[in-house]
Structure 1
Amino acid sequence: MAATTLHVQGMSCGHCKSSVEGALDKLDGVSAVDVHLETGKVDVTYDETKVNLKAMQEAVEDQGYDVEA
């Protein structure tokens, strides 16, 4: 297992948190998502043999947020 922190801009409410968590949870290989609205950080634990950083970034960006790894 690997872990990374995504820096997500534009999250401000519970709906934002749910959107980001839902998008990442749908990816095969993601085992845990922890969204911190106050800091804009999203901690992700994942299986690097099944999913990569680019796929996670795209999943969050598809929800309308800007992502920095």
Structure 2
Amino acid sequence: MIESIVLTVTGMKCGGCESNVTGKLNAIDGVISVKAVFKDEAVSVEYDTEKTTLDTIKDTITGAGFLVK
């Protein structure tokens, strides 16, 4: 099943941070699309729940050095 979620992510300060988060999330099997906007502290993710989980997505963002609220 395809799910879409918008996460509040703090710590992104620039376009480089957006690219970092986007690249790491796009590397996850099952992630379909990602849009990170540092000004809004938001990361939108569309993913296949049969291939990945919300916890994996959150852990990946945290592992990149950002905080998911």
Deviation at 1:45, TM superposition (A): 0.4
Runs of 4+ aligned structure 1 residues displaced above 6 Å come to none
Deviation at 1:15, TM superposition (A): 1.0
Task: Tell me the TM-score normalised to structure 2 length.
Answer: 0.93
Larger % of helix: which? 2
Is the partner of 1:28 in helix, strand or coil? coil
Gaps (5+ residues) in structure 2?
none
2:12 pairs with 1:11 = yes
The alignment's C-alpha RMSD in Å is 0.7
| Distance (Å, rounded) in 2 between the aligned partners of 1:59 and 1:23 | 7
Cα deviation code 1:6-58 (max 9, x no counterpart): 11100010110011001100100001001111110100000011111100001
Task: Tell me the TM-score normalised to structure 1 length.
Answer: 0.93
Gaps (5+ residues) in structure 1?
none
Identity %: 34
